[in-house]
Amino acid sequence: MPQAFDLSKVTKYVESNSTKIITMALNSLDGIEKGQIGLYSNLKEDKPLHKLKLNGTVVQPYRVAFEPRNNLFQPSERMLSPKPAKVDIQIDPGEVQDKWLILVSKPGFDPRELPLEKFFMAELVRKIKQELNDITTYNGVYNAAGTGPVDVCNGFAKILADAITAGDLTNVVATGAITSANALTKFKQMWKALPIAWKGVPMKLLASYTNIENYDENYAETRGSSNYVQKFEQSILEASNGKCTLERASWIGTSGRTILTPEGNLFAGTDVLADINKITVQQSHRLLDVMIEFKICFQIADTDAIWVNDQV
């Protein structure tokens, strides 16, 4: 007998797992899972970020006297400021049940492993994650009066553009458009723009799937082999002495922007334990109203430690 869509079961599951469900949606964004974007997950207030390199010098000639250096950890004056967001949807329980029945009718599938109420929330989490990853993370522009994922908070495209306009980010490399005919040269141009002090630091070159594929194609045609390193399951930038990995950033989408930065400079901020984080499910005649509330934001910690090209 098919399992009916039992509102009491859905409500009980949501009440017992709301924090877990919201955390799953926010903390599993592609950039966070891959280590491209760091995460502050329990922000109760705005979080000031810090420069990546310590300020001043610490080594000095020996003397008996204790002569400490202060203020090594220099604030960057950049803040993580989570913005409230919501999901309001109305669904037909029968449609959810039909989709679930297709899944559980597969040979060998045990419905007890994925009951209907759990399947329903998993599908919703997948949709929230996809929109935040593919739209908000890079292309978001905060608009409190907006109606979609692009309006939830500022994404990295807006953050970078504002920093460049304000003169806070001056490390802009004029690569022009990157294609399968020039990507090897253009990515190396990005690396050459680094000061020597940064060339000994492990770096990530983040770009769209298309531009990483352009590099791989250009490298194979120019060098006659692949630069893919099986051990690390990724490509290493030529002439970087193994210090720079090339990483596909799904959240950059189709943008031509290339981002070169050490790990720990791009951040997302959430507050998964806040009172605002909640899921409410209510019956509305024959339909079901679902309301989800959470907070999220993105930020660069140190604009002196990031290099971008001139494509947007």
pLDDT in tens, 269-278: 998 766 667 8
For 155, counting Cβ atoms within 10 Å of its Cβ (0-12 exposed, 13-18 middle, 19+ buried), the class is buried
Same domain membership, residue 46 and residue 34: yes
Would you state the pLDDT for residue 231?
46
pTM: 0.90
Is 18 in the same domain as 39?
yes
What does the pLDDT read at residue 273?
Answer: 65
In a domain, 151, yes or no: yes
Same domain for 101 and 11, yes or no, is: yes
* Dist. CA 157–CA 253, nearest whole Å: 11
Count of the separate structural domains present in the chain: 2
Q: State the Cα–Cα distance between residues 261 and 245, nearest whole angstrom.
A: 10
Domain that holds residue 258: 168-264+304-309
- 90 and 237 share one domain: no
Are residues 296 and 258 part of one domain? Answer: no
**Pair 181, 218: CB distance under 8 Å:** yes
Low-confidence ranges of the chain (pLDDT < 50): 1, 230-232
Which pLDDT belongs to residue 1? 44
